A = this chain, B = another copy of it.
Amino acid sequence: MGERLDTTWKGIAARVDAALDRYLPDEETPPGELHRAMRYSIFAGGKRLRPVLCVLSGRLAGARLRELLPPACALEMVHTYSLIHDDLPAMDDDDFRRGKPTSHKVFGEALAILAGDALLTLAFETITRHTKDGRIAARLCEELSRGAGSEGMVGGQVFDILSEGEKPNARLVEEIHRRKTAALIRASTRMGAIAACASDRELRDLTRFGETLGLLFQITDDLLDEVGEEGKMGKRLRKDAGRGKQTYPRVHGLAASAKLAGELAARCESILDRYGGRAKVLRSIPRFILKRTS
């Protein structure tokens, strides 16, 4: 019964990787080319932030790892599909991500679109096939679809595209970030709580933590685009300004953005104060994101 779990980020990411390998059809399963494309992007070196948040949130609220791996992996599938589609020529037109050629550069545009579609679909299949309690599975699917849908992540991507070239605007940049990145990060902590049948208070705290962390993450992303090193990031930088993207640094300046990031990290930590040592690893994540260089 006793479940020993290495609860470091690295330890959880390793369990998530093993589960993703089980959940994704192997390259021998027809159509092999499609499954190769899905695996190529899933195993392209992602940091597994969303699954780690889901697992740590769920553990804090009392769930077992095996109950958390299906929603955790579903989140990574949705995140990966969004990157594949974002990188397409019709969207951000990026040739590299994490230092590797993007999906459409390797497999062609048609297969990249379909690999993204298949990963999004597989996310829901993974939750429903591998969650014993159907009522919990349904709640997880609802949470994921809201976070990923037209009023969440996809909606944020649309705002992002349509507002390119517009004058930097504080309200708009917040709107974009709240949807584009924060909606799925918020869904990550909430899905952990839902899988754990968390109390109302736990769910509320984990929701606020996820929301705040999501904004923090996007601000550091904007900052890294301005001041990061391309070698470390593995992708083209300094492109937001060139495209007239709505970013925090463009609206508020570098110094104010960095200050805001620090404040958000502190707010994240204080939300978890009441959980003491049990929340230690989860509580360390905002600082980690604040200091990230890639």
User: Hey, which bits of chain A sit against chain B, CB under 8 A?
Assistant: 25, 29-31, 33-35, 38, 81, 85, 88, 90-91, 108-111, 113-114, 116-118, 120-122, 124-125, 127-129, 131, 134-139, 141-142, 144-146, 148-151, 154-155, 157-159, 161-162, 175
Cβ-defined contact, A125 with B138, below 8 A: no
* Dominant SS among interface residues on chain A: helix
Cβ-defined contact, B124 with A34, below 8 A: no
Closest to A24 in B: B150
Q: Give CA–CA (A226, B157) in the complex, Å.
A: 40
CB distance from A292 to the nearest CB of B (A): 27
| Contact for A33 among B90, B108, B137, B158, CB less than 8 A | B158
Cβ-defined contact, A85 with B113, below 8 A: yes
Chain B contacts of A30 at CB under 8 A? Answer: 151, 155, 159, 175
CB distance from A90 to the nearest CB of B (A): 4
Cβ-defined contact, B117 with A90, below 8 A: no
CB distance from A273 to the nearest CB of B (A): 33
Q: Give CA–CA (A111, B113) in the complex, Å.
A: 13
Closest to A31 in B: B158
